[in-house]
Structure 1
Amino acid sequence: MQLEGKRVVVIGAGSGIGRSVAVAASEAGASVVLAGRKRESLEATAALMKGRREVRVLDASEETQVAAFFEEVGSFDHLVSTASQGASGPLTGMGADAIQRAFAAKLWAPVFLVKHAAPRIAQDGSFTFFSGFRAGRPAVGTSITSLVNGGLEAFTKAMAVELAPVRLNAISPGVVDSGSFWDRLGTEARERLFTDYAKKVPARRVGRPEDLASATLFAMTNPFLTGTVISVDGGGLLM
């Protein structure tokens, strides 16, 4: 899974899975463009890397920003986006703003990224997006999460046909201990969630960012993999 001489754009590189993907791509020899909303977090990721890298602030849910971003970045080989925004709870009590934020991160951002990046990506390049196991295993209170993840997976498959031979794939993680993403729950609720998940899934643990980074490098470098959703969930879909 070597990426020597390749240029990789990582959206969401400031923390968690995105940071792990960026570091792994750099270790595999890639020149990495680190993108996300917070420069400070991106600079922290850059400090972990030894290879060529550049930091660019971007809100991928804003089309004007995405268009300008790729005008500046120019040609590249692979793009990975871990952009995500949760929306949980009963639909009848959910505000429109929360729903719109989930749509922006998981649907509009991928649409804008593909639209403006496609003219600049190498013909043997790839896009890799992150959905989630709730696309295939809904639960009470996950209607919007299930909707946007399922929509992203369908979009990925459709664009794999439309943009061929450029490849598009999706990674579908389960519960991953990705750091600050879970801070909103509080320490006690977070640990309870992790413990419950680990008891139920066949892997008997929650995921780690490096688990997802490894799968992402596989998706980027396997030339016969396209239009596929790769479940990296410890067996979460079997629960």
Structure 2
Amino acid sequence: MAASLRDRRVLVVGRGSGIARAVTLAVRAAGATVVAAGRDERALAAAYDEPGIETAYVDLSDEATVAALAGRLGPVDHVVSTASARARGTLGELGHDTMLRSFEVKVLGPLLLARHFAPGMPEDGSFVFFSGSSARKPVAGMLAVGATNAAVDALTHGLAVELAPIRVNAVSPGTVDTGAYDGLGERKKADLFAARAATSPARRVGQPGEIADAVVFALGSTFLTGVSLGVDGGEPLV
């Protein structure tokens, strides 16, 4: 059974661009009112200057800010966390603080969101967290990212049992054309996308809107819980 998001209140944690922006706009288009929260509230306010979307500050590595946000907002129907911290690099390149930051934002952050928002949620509420295909397909240079994503999947399973009947799911994208790859430079980014498209069964990389559609599906699917949805073009298969 699919539940409507119309007149529901949804918290989306992340930046004002890329997948987070696509999710926020898709959820709003589905009829929900949205609170977009992140560490740079000024940038969020500039990105979402439109009716039905308010902005707020939260730092998922600081439990006090999560608790404060929950207290200020009161009950919400659904929570989505797209937040992450980059931790790419080979074993010799990864620093302790980089790895810890990745785990702190993407795993402990969702745990804190569940701790502080679940008590005020309706029974048909839900959480959607973000994993990634590197949890299922090891790639050189993505060791910490893969371990973090695998931990998100484990957290999703555990919270689905502990918070029931509130639902908990994850969305697990493959390679998606967002600003996350801009740091490579145009040439290296194009080469990477071409290589991924050549081997992916979908023969292309993904778009943010396709990931947002999966989030909306997970929010409204009342018999879906404890699942990590692979929206990855079949990337882990090859």
Counterpart of 2:224? 225
Amino acid at match of 1:230: L
TM-score by length of 2: 0.95
Which residue of structure 2 lines up, in the alignment, with residue 39 of structure 1? 41
Tell me the amino acid that sits aligned with residue 125 of structure 1.
Answer: G
Contact 2:38 2:44 in 1 (8 A): yes
Gaps of 5+ in 2: none
Partner of 1:28: 30
Deviates more, 1:228-237 or 1:81-90: 81-90
CA distance in structure 1 between the partners assigned to 2:209 and 2:96 by the alignment: 34
Cα contact 1:20–1:209 (8 A) shared by 2: yes
Kept after mapping to 2: 8 A contact 1:13/1:21? no
SS across alignment from 1:109: helix
Q: Distance in 2 between matches of 1:118 and 1:236?
A: 33
Counterpart of 2:77?
Answer: 77
Instruction: Give the stretch that moved more between structures: 103-112 or 219-228.
Output: 103-112
Residue 214 of structure 1: aligned partner? 213
Q: Which amino acid aligns with 1:213?
A: A
Counterpart of 1:165 in structure 2: which amino acid?
P
Letter of the aligned partner of 1:5 in structure 2? D
Q: Which residue number corresponds to residue 178 of structure 2?
A: 178
SS in 2 for 1:124: coil
Alignment partner of 1:14 out of 6, 13, 16: 16
Query: Secondary structure of 1:91's match?
Result: coil
The Cα shift of 1:205 comes to 1.1
Q: Which stretch of structure 1 is more off in the superposition, 163-172 or 184-193?
A: 184-193
CA deviation map 1:184-231 (0-9, x unaligned): 211111111111111111111111110000000000000000000100
Q: Which runs of 5+ in 1 are unaligned?
A: none
- For residues 137 and 118 of structure 2, the distance between their equivalents in structure 1, rounded to whole angstroms, comes to 31
Partner SS, residue 165 of structure 2:
coil
What are the Cα deviations for residues 86-128 of structure 1, in whole angstroms up to 9, with x where unaligned? 2122223321121111111211111111111111122101000
Q: Could you say what secondary structure the match of 2:129 adopts? A: strand
Shift of 1:9: 0.3
In 2, Cα distance between the equivalents of 1:192 and 1:58?
A: 36
Q: Is the 8 A contact 1:66 1:113 kept in 2?
A: yes
SS at match of 1:101: helix
Instruction: Work out the CA distance in 2 between the residues paired with 1:25 and 1:185.
Output: 30
Structure 2 residue identity aligned to 1:134:
S
The answer to whether the 8 Å contact 2:157/2:226 transfers is yes
Alignment RMSD: 1.3
**Count of residues in Structure 1 that have an aligned counterpart in Structure 2:** 236
Contact 1:131 1:171 survives alignment (8 Å)? yes
Alignment of 1:60-71 (within 5 A): 60-71=60-71
Does the 8 Å contact 1:60/1:109 carry over to 2? Answer: yes
Partner of 1:167: 167
Query: TM-score, with normalisation over the residues of structure 1?
Result: 0.95
Measured in 2, the distance between the counterparts of 1:229 and 1:94 equals 26
Q: Which secondary structure does the structure 2 equivalent of 1:141 belong to?
A: coil
C-alpha separation in 1, matches of 2:34 and 2:15: 10
- Structure 2 CA distance for aligned equivalents of residues 45 and 216 of structure 1: 20
* Percent of paired sites with the same residue: 44
- Letter of the 1:113 counterpart: L
Separation of aligned partners in 2, 1:87 and 1:215: 25
Please give the alpha-carbon distance, in whole angstroms, between the structure 1 residues aligned to 2:35 and 2:96.
Answer: 33
